[in-house]
Amino acid sequence: MIRKIQNQFTIGDVARMAGIDSRVLRTWEERGEIPEARRNGSNHRVYSFDEARSIVRLSAGDQHRRIAIVNQKGGVGKTTTTFSLAGALAARGRKVLAIDLDPQANLSASLGIELEDQDSSIEDVFVNDDFAAADAVRTTRFPGLYCLPARPRLAGVEIKIFDAFLRETILDRKLTPLHDEYDFILIDCPPNLSLVTVNALVSCQEALVPIEAQTYSIKAISDLTNTVALIRSRLDRGIALRFLPTKIDGRMKVAGEILDAIRGGLKNRVLPSIRTDANLVRCPMLRAPAAFAFPASKGARDYDRIAALLVQEQGPPAVDA
């Protein structure tokens, strides 16, 4: 007997095929990114096979990008960017792993992850040779969004890995088995250029550097650029650096002037800015990224613009871009 070939797919079918939440599909439909589903004889909303296939391909995107969110200056918006961008990408149907490399563990807490003593964390990934990174990955309440959490003990990791063999590439080796698993891996770095931060850079093809106009420092950017150049020359890893102005207050004339100067210096490597938005400050307490907590807010829209840009690129930018 020949099995009946399915030629109509419900929204639920397509969502499952694409590995995304059906709510995501409805949002895409509203935005006109995919065709509107038709009603079949039993009044179910369905897609044809070709439509279903194109949606699945749209959602899969086959990118597998790894992005370090880095700046040794404190308080510039690294964690906010990792958290909000991870949320924006997941809301767009991507499978995202947010890795917390900061002993402050703000990112983990913002995603609602509180570790018990026996729970594993990124520290185990660094210090135990036999420990697989996948074993520390946690789900979150949000479809498509996963977290590899940190705990305060991470502060001691620097010392523990100082004498390790190939110590700059520990994280890179540990993350390799996860590359195909996620569309995006985002790494929130601590506010320094330590060995842990170098491990993050080495494991990524690109880095996003949040910069705050008020605290912008040419020295900090040149130190970071030098570190990236060293990684390239000594370890043969090219990392595409791009800058993300954060906490931009349109009413402050001086912020605009500094921003112009930054754009003048860094040219096409500066991404569209993130405006100051109190909703972004509230999100960690609500344990939900802006895309889910306040989808219509300035902050959510600004980060969604960056997510849209990344998704459209279909791959990391050229290293010298």
Ligand X SMILES: Nc1ncnc2c1ncn2[C@@H]1O[C@H](COP(=O)(O)OP(=O)(O)OP(=O)(O)O)[C@@H](O)[C@H]1O
Q: Is 280 in the site for ligand X (CB under 6 A)?
A: yes
Q: Which stretch binds ligand X (CB under 6 A): 27-35, 69-77, 171-179, 196-204?
A: 69-77
Q: Which lies closer to ligand X via its Cβ, residue 153 or residue 173?
A: 153
Q: Which stretch binds ligand X (CB under 6 A): 40-48, 70-78, 130-138, 217-225?
A: 70-78
Q: Which of residues 228-247 bind ligand X (CB under 6 A)?
A: 246-247
Q: Which lies closer to ligand X via its Cβ, residue 46 or residue 109?
A: 109
Contact partner, 247, from Mg ion, ligand X, none, Cβ < 5-8 Å per class: ligand X
Residue nearest to Mg ion (CB): 79
HEC-encoded secondary structure of the chain: CCCCCCCEEEHHHHHHHHCCCHHHHHHHHHHCCCCCCEECCCCCEEEEHHHHHHHHHHHHCCCCEEEEECCCCCCCCHHHHHHHHHHHHHHCCCCEEEEECCCCCHHHHHCCCCCCCCCCCHHHHHHCCCCCHHHHCEECCCCCEEEECCCHHHHHHHHHHCCCCCHHHHHHHHHHHHHHHCCEEEEECCCCCCHHHHHHHHCCCEEEEEEEHHHCCHHHHHHHHHHHHHHHHHHCCCCEEEEEEECECCCCHHHHHHHHHHHHHHHHHECCCCECCHHHHHHHHHCCCHHHHCCCCHHHHHHHHHHHHHHHHCCCCCCCC
Q: Is 168 in the site for ligand X (CB under 6 A)?
A: no
Q: Which of residues 103-122 bind ligand X (CB under 6 A)?
A: 104, 106
Task: Select from 14, 37, 68, 79 the one that contacts ligand X (CB under 6 A).
Answer: 79
Task: Select from 277, 291, 294, 300 the one that contacts ligand X (CB under 6 A).
Answer: 277
Q: Is 304 in the site for ligand X (CB under 6 A)?
A: no
Contact partner, 317, from Mg ion, ligand X, none, Cβ < 5-8 Å per class: none
Q: Is 51 in the site for ligand X (CB under 6 A)?
A: no
- Residues lying near ligand X in the complex (CB under 6 A) are found at 74-80, 102, 104, 106, 191, 246-247, 274, 276-277, 280-281, 299
